[in-house]
Structure 1
């Protein structure tokens, strides 16, 4: 049964942001677009981030309105159910730019524990 402890979800988000970034660290966009294994690994990390964010209490999400929680959850649905709609360039942009604010909030909250 999934844990109700927000710290577990926060750690899962942090770990998978780090993994996604490690997977693409030495790649150019062209390299990434031609590396199916890395693409699939990054998608898996983003799926975990999405699912872990869903497990955070609503009060936590309300405390951080600067984070697009619904978009994060929605992206996970696309990765899992509408996978043929996933654009590799959007995945690249997500890892390169869109995770920064989430990572900051997660780290700040973990520092409070």
Structure 2
């Protein structure tokens, strides 16, 4: 896969991670869960992140075994098809715990491509 395409995917995922973090900023778990618009916006960011992660080449994923790539890809199916199972507290936990290390890995990969 050409590096420009991989770079575009990385940038797309990073953009949606940044949006999710911005949307949830300043809210605690309860305030987040009570703000339906924010829950929906963040869930959409996670859905896009999930789908885009499927397009990353295996060599990128294999360099970062601590990232739960398979679960990330599978989460998109839940967001799209089992939306009744999407709980605000799980979305909150994803933003707080899973996105920061993912963002770090993606920034590292983007820097690797640009050097």
TM-score range, shorter chain: over 0.9
Q: What is aligned with 1:55?
A: 55
Task: Report how many aligned residue pairs link the two structures.
Answer: 110
Q: CA deviation at 1:68?
A: 0.7
Give the unaligned 5+ runs of structure 2.
none
Structure 1 runs (4+) greater than 2 angstroms displaced: none
Q: What is aligned with 1:42?
A: 42
Q: CA deviation at 1:107?
A: 0.4
Question: Within 2, Cα distance between the matches of 1:87 and 1:21?
Answer: 17
Give the unaligned 5+ runs of structure 1.
none
Q: What is aligned with 1:71?
A: 71
Question: Within 1, Cα distance between the matches of 2:51 and 2:57?
Answer: 12
Q: CA deviation at 1:60?
A: 1.6
Question: Within 2, Cα distance between the matches of 1:6 and 1:77?
Answer: 22
Across the aligned residues of Structure 1 and Structure 2, the Cα RMSD in angstroms comes to 1.2
Please say if 1:89 is aligned against 2:89. Answer: yes
Question: Within 2, Cα distance between the matches of 1:83 and 1:70?
Answer: 19
Question: Within 2, Cα distance between the matches of 1:62 and 1:111?
Answer: 17
Does structure 1 conserve the Cα–Cα contact (< 8 Å) formed by 2:17 and 2:49?
A: yes
Question: Within 2, Cα distance between the matches of 1:51 and 1:79?
Answer: 10
Q: TM-score, normalised by structure 2?
A: 0.91
Question: Within 1, Cα distance between the matches of 2:95 and 2:64?
Answer: 20
Q: Deviations over 1:42-79 (max 9, x none)?
A: 00100111011101012221222111100100111100
